[in-house]
Amino acid sequence: MGKRRKQRQRKTKAAVDRDVISRLPDEILCNILSFLPTRTSVATSVLSRRWRYLWKKVQALDLSDDFFYTPELSRDEAQERFLIFLKEFEPLLLPLPMRKFRLSCPVGQFGYTDLIGWIEHVIGRVSELYFSVRSDGQTYELYFRNLHSTSLVSLVLDGNIMIVVDFVPTPSESIFPSLKNLELNVIFNYVDLDLLLSGCPALETLRITLTDFRLEAFHMPRSLKSLTFEEQYSDSEDVTLELLEVNTPSLEYLRLSLRGCYAQILVCDYPNIKKASLDISRKSGNIAWVPKLLRALCKTKFLWLQVSTIECLICAPVLVLPDFCNLIQLQLDFHSFQSSLLIDLLHSCPKLQALKIYISQCMNSILSGSYLKSHNGWTQPLSIPHCIVSHLNTVEHRGYLNTPEEHEFTAYILQRGLVLKTMRIHTKYNLDSKCEIYEALSQIQKGSSMCRLEYLPIHPN
């Protein structure tokens, strides 16, 4: 027995010697645990005596109700147990400074006041705050009685929440002087967004989704490096706003998804812009300034123009495209293939390497009026766009319908693409038609010996 005991002791000692992680300082271990959900962090307490209370020192709480929803519990029972679970962590909010607080859960009348109390309590003490709620369609109000924090660096609010501010800050007051990341997917009423954003002088990343808001003007913070601005309306009425100002010279990323009509847009040069995505509704006011916005974005490396933005360009009375001197990837979404606009864009992109063309699945919704009148089919360009013979190596055409215009454009690229490596075609046609299309394209003489023609089906959803 003594011999066996000694063998077990030696094995235990060897295992301990191999446990390099447990010998790390508390500070490092707590930092590692801070990236895990709190439930997982707590589970490490059973590993050994060394880990028993370590999770309590972690300056981060990441609480989610996901694991409470089981077949054995009703929805109300799961919510009730989650709130009891939250109560167990309430003492941790008081004595220690908190670096990160993340709370994700459904919400109902039961217990909602407690959740809001937690948010109000920690917002002035944490560096990162993430609050996401799921509801049954009812809107719940989040009151800010004292909207101020010098420690907050990142704030994310998501869900069916209505932001209500009980006080009015002065224009010179910094509400969140250290805030760098702000993500809002909520309902705004009784809040002056311009005033709110003006109180964030260090803001670098803004991601905001607004629903049914009414503002005369919207001014983006000048300090921004990344902007995602999406707005939508639940009714069909035309909503007109006077001004959208994006005077953000340090901008590197831009995504706009606009359903309203903006009478005017103020932009600046964006020398650091790397990626831009534009989904701008074809309203008369927007059509006038979309070309202006494109000129401001001329130094971007990646550009995605969605269907509505293409419509604005097609309907523009005068379209002068800028020289996209740094553009290497261009994605265009069409209702109906437009080779003339496409060739004009290629002429403006001398360094383009990748071209993605997406044709709308719903061809019955092709525009009428001036859009159809401008659709004249394929016309041989007077000169070859520089990128086709020097840089363009990948073309992807999704939703290919094998119209004469599409076929002529594809043949033009295959024949003149001297550095083309991949021509990828996606189509919805039946197998026999696919074979015919592939055979016709395969017979085209290619300008590049490296070019590979790939023909792929589009699988129905």
Tens of pLDDT along 273-291? Answer: 999 999 999 988 899 899 9
Q: What is the pLDDT of residue 229?
A: 94
pLDDT class of 259 with cuts at 50, 70, 90: confident
Q: What is the dihedral angle through the alpha carbons of 67, 71, 77, 83, rounded to the nearest 10 degrees?
A: 0
**Of 438 and 296, which is predicted with more confidence?**
296
pLDDT, mean of residues 204-220: 83
Q: Which two tokens stand for residue 230?
A: 């999406």
User: Which is more confident, 40 or 266?
Assistant: 266
Compute the distance between CA of residue 175 and CA of residue 170 in angstroms, rounded to an integer: 9
- Of 195, 217, 221, which Cα lies nearest the Cα of 207? 221
38 closest CA partner among 77, 81, 80, 92: 92
Q: State the pLDDT at residue 133.
A: 77
Amino acid at 17: D
Helix axes 431-442, 404-416, angle to 10 degrees: 40
Run of H or E residues at 277: strand 275-280
The mean pLDDT of 6-32, rounded to a whole number, is 68
pLDDT for the residue 52: 81
**17/219: higher pLDDT:** 219
Residue 402's region, left for phi above 0, alpha for psi from -120 to 50, else beta, is: left
Q: Count Cβ atoms within 10 A of the Cβ of residue 274 and give its class: 0-12 exposed, 13-18 middle, 19 or more buried.
A: middle
Higher pLDDT, 367 or 458: 458
State pLDDT tens for residues 305-343: 999 999 999 998 888 999 999 999 999 999 889 999 999
pLDDT band at 358 (very low <50, low <70, confident <90, very high): very high
Average pLDDT over residues 93-102: 70
Concatenating the DSSP letter of every residue in 436-458 gives HHHHHHHTSPPS-TT-EEEEEEP
Give the tens place of pLDDT for each residue, 147-176.
678 889 999 988 777 776 655 556 556 788
Give pLDDT, residue 363: 40
Q: So what's the pLDDT on residue 199?
A: 84
Output the pTM of the full model: 0.83
